Homo-oligomer: A and B are copies of this chain.
Amino acid sequence: MLIHLSSWPEIDAQIASGRPLSKTVVVPIGSNEQHGPTGLLGTDWLCPEIIAHEAERSDAALMVAPTFNIGMAQHHLAFAGTISLRPSTFMAAITDWVSSLSRHGFERIYFLNGHGGNVATIEATFSEIYAEWSFVEDEPPFVLKLKNWWDLPGVQGLCNSIFPTGHGMHATPSEIAVTQAAYPDRIKTADYSPQIAPSGPIRDALDYRARFPDGRIGSDPAQANPEKGRRIIDLAVPALLSDVAAFAAEARPGDAS
């Protein structure tokens, strides 16, 4: 079920149903940030949304929250169209999402992430949330999990096999291919120079733009095409479903085995 296209009684009934996935929810989370000369600004939130929505279509019991579309992208701010939250804002917002979803009885909240730059802040947020319970010797009524879509079983391996060179770290052909498969009428082209972008450390926005003039890091997005994106999606969707199912079924420590 896509929460935003459901009514509250539908969600309520599903949570109360006692079915295996009934108390687990997937939150696609990403970022709206430059993805090189041809990548869509929405790439990082579109990818997890594409995968999660397609998974929901194949198993309607999968509960999918609206997409958390703005993340931590301060280093991309020298490129037009990037929207970033400060980490502290991002933390507050994730906290409120968790409070809201937990309020309804969701006990397992699974963030399907599409942006590497989000990872540190999401993990820090989990600690911030758990700390509230840890300081007072109490147990939170929910478990949180972060999974990057490219870390779903098999996905990184497939991407590497499709793009043995020029995969890189930002504006990768994998993610661009995924968006091309879903938005074929939005495919853009450019002459890349150099063909494979440079690499280096990530710091503030001006430093980033000086190091990576067209926004890419280490990647050659020219290799992307919709068919490759489709292959990635087709692998990621069942991988997500089984990863979520395992998470939903995971025993808590102390539960009788």
Contacts and interface: CB of A to CB of B under 8 A. Distances in A.
Interface in A83-121: 83-89, 91-93, 95-97, 99-101, 103-105, 117, 119-121
A126 to B, nearest CB: 8
Q: Which of A45, A87, A99 has the most CB of B within 10 A?
A: A87
A139 interface: yes
Given A100-B135, A120-B123, 10 more contacts: A4-B32, A45-B66, A70-B97, A83-B100, A86-B92, A87-B125, A89-B93, A92-B93, A120-B121, A124-B124
A124 to B, nearest CB: 4
A110 to B, nearest CB: 13
B81 A8 contact: yes
A183 B37 CA distance: 33
A41 B66 CA distance: 10
B3 A211 contact: no
Interface string A172-188: 00000000000100101
Number of copies: 6
B134 A78 contact: yes
Contacts of A117: 127
A203 B117 CA distance: 21
A12 B80 contact: yes
Contacts of A211: 253
B7 A188 contact: yes
Interface of A: 3-12, 15, 32, 34-42, 45-46, 65-70, 72, 74-75, 77-89, 91-93, 95-97, 99-101, 103-105, 117, 119-121, 123-128, 130-131, 133-140, 143-144, 183, 186, 188, 190, 200, 203-207, 210-211, 215, 252-254
B65 A83 contact: yes
Contacts of A70: 66, 68, 93, 96-97
A39 B112 CA distance: 27
A83 B101 contact: yes
A188 B121 CA distance: 37
